[in-house]
Structure 1
Amino acid sequence: MGATFTLSEEIDVVVKKLVEQEKEFKILSVAKIVTRFRTGTWYTRGKLIYAKTKILSMYERFEMDAEILILVNKRMWELLTDQQKEALIFHELCHVEASVDKNGAPRNSPNDGRPVYRLCSHDLEEFKLVVEKYGLWRPDAQEFMDSAKKGEQLTMEFTPQNHKKEPSSNVIHLRAK
């Protein structure tokens, strides 16, 4: 079965809450963010995709009257707790930052005058095998671990262990460490 897409007021509520409450997302207060559930098998390089964020092209902005699209794997969403759903959307919003000119001023589109955004990479780019063998050898890895220790740690565990197949009746357990 191919992918299908549906509207999601539930995701919209979480996006709105985070943009209003979290100082990290102040730049998104004027953004038009479209959210959709995606159904169907969704893997990239053998890894299950929970969600994706896309900065819309100028044409897509025109067609959708928005700057940002957040697609969420509906099947996974239904398995998450409310706190995990919020963490997932927080993660996706962290991928967005304001596009700036050479002077550091926010850029606006010449077509509609609305802000222009760009995708932001993850803070940590490392393989677990490297960390297992060499430890936290990079400063960004150590900074990441220091941040992880600051707050309550949540772990999502799947049953069964093989993530390469579409989960059918998997249960996600939330465990505070």
Structure 2
Amino acid sequence: MPKPKAPKTFFMDAPNVEEIASQLIEEHHRHLVNAKIKFLKRYGNWKAKGKTRLGSAEKVSEKHKYLTGYDFIIIINGIVFDSLRQQEKEALVDHELCHCGVTDKDEFCIWPHDLEDFIAIVRRHGLWMEELKRFADVAIEASRQLTIFDYYPEERQVAVV
């Protein structure tokens, strides 16, 4: 018996994501006011390293910028996004906008996450880097806010990149 095929992946324009992004750019990402950003939703299975991927931000290559006019493309997992509460939608879009940066030479770039480490290292060695300490302080302050796991309790492994 043949193996069932996975549903096809498809993309759609995302005006509701763009609307959220416009407010966030005005309030928190002023460096992106003049950036041309294409917002898409992606439907279909989307995993990275075994974890559900929530979104991605990419700087458009010079060739594709010439063809499209865009500086960045932000892709949001439509299946997840459509089930989130407004506050969580805003957090996801804000996260992807944080990747969209501007260099000292006024060129667009992709910024990495502020923090990267392993849970096992923190368990064994504590808050050994200054950015871990700052992150922990902010996490404690924010711990009373709702999380995406209120909707996806079985999906404890997600990838936001």
Alignment TM class, shorter chain as reference: 0.7 to 0.9
- Pair 1:19 & 2:25 matched: yes
- Pair 1:37 & 2:41 matched: yes
Cα distance in structure 2, aligned partners of 1:55 and 1:66: 9
Structure 2 equivalent of residue 56 of structure 1:
60
Count of aligned pairs between the two proteins: 149
Q: CA deviation at 1:163?
A: 4.7
Equivalent position to 2:87, from 80, 83, 88: 83
Structure 2: tracts of 5 or more residues without a match: 1-6
- Pair 1:160 & 2:154 matched: yes
Structure 1: tracts of 5 or more residues without a match: 107-115, 165-177
CA 1:163–1:123: 2 relative to 1, 3 Å: closer
7-16 or 139-148, which deviates more: 139-148
Structure 2 equivalent of residue 7 of structure 1:
13
Query: What SS does the corresponding residue of 1:91 show, helix, strand or coil?
Result: helix
> Higher RCO, 1 or 2 (CA under 8 Å, sep at least 6)?
2
Q: CA deviation at 1:2?
A: 3.4
4+ aligned runs moved over 2 Å, structure 1: 147-156, 158-164
Structure 2 equivalent of residue 173 of structure 1:
none
76-85 or 130-139, which deviates more: 130-139
Query: What SS does the corresponding residue of 2:113 show, helix, strand or coil?
Result: coil
Offset from partner CA, 1:74-107 (integer Å, 9 cap, x none): 0000121000000001101111110233xxxx2x
Offset from partner CA, 1:120-175 (integer Å, 9 cap, x none): 111111111111222211111111112223445333322325759xxxxxxxxxxx
- Pair 1:70 & 2:74 matched: yes
CA contact (8 A) 2:42 2:78 kept: yes
67-76 or 154-163, which deviates more: 154-163
Structure 1 equivalent of residue 117 of structure 2:
126
Higher helix share: 2
Quick one: which amino acid aligns to residue 131 of structure 2?
D
Q: CA deviation at 1:18?
A: 0.5
Query: What SS does the corresponding residue of 2:93 show, helix, strand or coil?
Result: helix
